[in-house]
Amino acid sequence: MLRRLPIRRFPERTLPRLLAAAARRHGGRTFLRFIDPAAPGAPPRPISFGEFALGAGRAAAFLRAAGVGPGDRVLLLAENSPEWQMLALGAQLLRTEPAALFASLDGAPVREIARRVRPRVAVVSGPAQWAKLAPAAEELVRGGLAAVVSGEPVDAPLPAGLALATFADATGASAPGPDLEGIEALARAGGEDDPFLLLFTSGTTGRPKGVRLPQRAIVHAIEGGNAAVGTTADDVGLHFLPFGHVAGHDHFAIALAQGHELVMAARREDIERGLALAPTYLFSVPLVYERIRASVEAKLDALPGPLRRLARAALAAAVRVRVDGARGPGDRALARLADRLVGAKVRARLGGRVRGLYSGGAPASAALFRFFEGLGIPLVELYGMSETAGLISSNLLDGVRRPESAGLISADHEVRIEEDGELLLRGPLVFQGYLEPEDDRGVFTDDGFFRTGDLARVDAEGFLRVEGRKKALLVLSTGKKLSPEPIEQAIASTAPFQGAVLLGEGRPFVAAAVFVAQEEIARLAAAGKDPAVELLPRVRAALAAFSEFEKPKRLVVIPGGPQDHPALVTPTLKLRRDALRAMFGAELAAIYGAA
């Protein structure tokens, strides 16, 4: 039986209307505390709900003066900042389409996407980002680019006819703009089918596709999250997911709609500063939480033998009590000990007030779930895609959660699961289509259902289980078929592995490329051991629950983690399978006897 995610509606049906309502209701209350990378020694910059709304109104006035109107686009290539969102919401107030790019993208993909977007205004954080666009500047001007807005001075010469402005010119207190009543009037003029955002897929299997999301999609997405996450106006979130990622917008929008505070960090290295400000919750991709778990594991390994065994026994008992439902007095006593030995330290590292961790953007491993849940820290996993404004389903902060469960599907989705296991959706969260019409071919069924490309099932409790990507399915020469993602996830959640890619399409057996810390590779080499041979039994042991044909028989060992190999990962740290196969082609050929 399919159970449904509870929905709590907002009266306002677009993000600009939610913005105006938040400014009207909360006015002088702090909305954002921004850890500004340009002022490393300064305290976070506070911005109230009212100040933020007026900044968005000034951005709308600036963009209108630059000739921006309905049907135009504003390209945003910048690290997270309050001004980023002011300019994006300013564009939305004008019923213009903001196009968000990952600030970490290299110059070539940035220029390729910019040519496709054909922006009227480009927003950059400074000279480094402008340098990515500059080689295509004259072409972009011919295509309609009229102005560049930069957070830091840009000294390079610009093509004739291209105006240059600063964030202060566009959003600062001295810039012209409407008052709150004027902002409300602009917001009322817009509708649910007006643009919210143009995002780009990660491009793991080809060029990134432009995903066109309407206002209705983001509002329905945060309404699904509204009940699931259990946050209120009293919460303080730590925000650091990039605005090139739909999850970064979901987090921002739900805080705006609920009226709670966000501590905003633009850089990963500022996350620790954000934690020191005592947030009540975090929203992140699993990688950040995996690093916390790995740090704890390393500290446990460094303990003297008897204490190490006691701490690990206590952690195992805590998982049995809080995840598996054990009730024995011995387990309960050990669980309390785990709280004192490990849980208190983890909570302190998270700022001391965290009551929930939210995870999205990639599947969270069962080991990660059991670690935090065993310590009494809820790990609430959400599942979605850019094409569904980031929400398909969610677990509940105040409800039953299961490891490797995607939770309950939003009641706003019509659902169908095809005979081959593919999940299909129809409803208000689904995007309007891709930027280029040719990318829409085959994406929708004749009756309007969106093909997610994900293989899924509903378990006996009514929870959604996502079991991999349809396109990633491996077919061995023996005829056996397997979905690689669950196997890769099981390997990556086992020490000392930091990532894995399963290989074997058209081959007689499965192999794997595994990412391993350089220190571990060096340790094995110093002992005269071949890492590929020595680590294979650990890989296979991590896959005890899988069939024999799903377990790798050979390994390619890659030093470091996926993040240490930029050419192999997308901006969201998803592995590019084709790039990996190309980079390690010789090693793979040798594995299968073709060398």
Specify the pLDDT at position 363. 86
- Tell me: pLDDT of 274 over 50: yes
* Continuous H helices in 158-285: 167-171, 180-189, 215-228, 246-258, 271-275
Confidence check: pLDDT of 593 > 80: no
User: What's the CA angle centered on 387, arms 493 and 14, to 5 degrees?
Assistant: 120
Task: Give the CATH number of the domain where residue 516 resides.
Answer: 3.30.300.30
Instruction: Kindly state whether residues 380 and 256 are assigned to the same domain.
Output: no
Whether residue 140 is found in the same domain as residue 208: yes
Indicate if 390 and 485 belong to the same structural domain.
no
595 falls in which pLDDT band (50, 70, 90)?
very low
Q: Are residues 269 and 297 in the same domain?
A: no
The answer on 14 and 105 residing in a single domain is yes
For position 315, what pLDDT does the model report? 96
Question: 233, 257, 280 — which closes off a domain?
Answer: 280
Q: Dump pLDDT digits (tens) for 345-378.
A: 999 999 999 999 999 988 888 889 999 999 999 9
Note whether 558 and 442 are same-domain residues. Answer: no
Q: Amino acid identity of 305?
A: G
pLDDT band at 583 (very low <50, low <70, confident <90, very high): confident
Rg (CA), the chain: 25
What is the average pLDDT value for the chain, to the nearest integer? 93
| Domain identity same for 465 and 479 | no
Band (204; pLDDT cuts 50, 70, 90)? low
Neighbours of 367 (CB within 10 A): 18
* Residue 56 to residue 51: CA distance in whole angstroms: 9
Instruction: Mark whether 315 and 256 lie in a shared domain.
Output: no
User: How many independent structural domains does the chain possess?
Assistant: 3
Q: Is the pLDDT of residue 585 over 80?
A: no
Whether residues 122 and 256 fall in one domain? yes
Boundary-marking domain end, from 264, 280, 296: 280
Poorest-pLDDT segment among 361-375, 395-409, 485-499: 485-499
Output the domain CATH number for residue 243. 3.40.50.980
Q: Are 232 and 258 in contact (CB under 8 A)?
A: yes
Residues with Cβ < 8 Å from 391, sequence gap 6 or more?
220, 221, 222, 224, 225, 250, 382, 384, 410, 429
The letter for the amino acid at 185 is A
For the segment 143-167, the average pLDDT, to the nearest whole number, is: 95
In the 8-state DSSP scheme, what is residue 232? -
In this prediction, what percent of the chain has a pLDDT beyond 70?
A: 99
DSSP output for 43-69? PPEEEEHHHHHHHHHHHHHHHHHTT--
Domain boundaries, position 537? 474-591
Reported as type and span, the H/E element at residue 524 is helix 518-526
Residue ending a domain, among 409, 442, 469, is: 469
Least confident of 85-94, 116-125, 280-289: 280-289
Query: Above 80 in pLDDT, residue 62?
Result: yes
